[in-house]
Structure 1
């Protein structure tokens, strides 16, 4: 028997997703936006794991691994973009001034 019910984990995942969405919409700093996206992906992963535990299926854990891989790739690409912008002499991490990457 699990310590939390399925409804409790859905509520927690909804709160996490809402916090992540608010962070993406409210903040313009690219690092904070990446962290907020990771929070949103972790909320989705929590839903898959709790659904897999409820119905005794391992597919939720497999989806968790896929989401974890996607979050790692998203963070690596985002940090590479930030480093590329920094190498061009951009002093800020504001997402609105990202047009410096035009070729």
Structure 2
């Protein structure tokens, strides 16, 4: 069950303000691009993706910011993700993998 449906959780409290919840939900998109980029750039190391995810969570909890600042943060993350995609076009647009190739490549390691 998603945390958004469990009373008392941070995600559930976001539902009280639809704009903030929308910003939170849309903020997952650039975060996914950034974590995916980190995963590829660390030679598909799960540890690299975990470190980036940990940093997102750690600093999100360490620096308690208001709702408007959280929206601004998500906009900045979006700009950063777009810049990352434009900077590393080869990674995001020229990779052609099939599921079978990925399975074969991971079984070799």
How high is the TM-score relative to the length of structure 1?
A: 0.33
How high is the TM-score relative to the length of structure 2?
A: 0.32
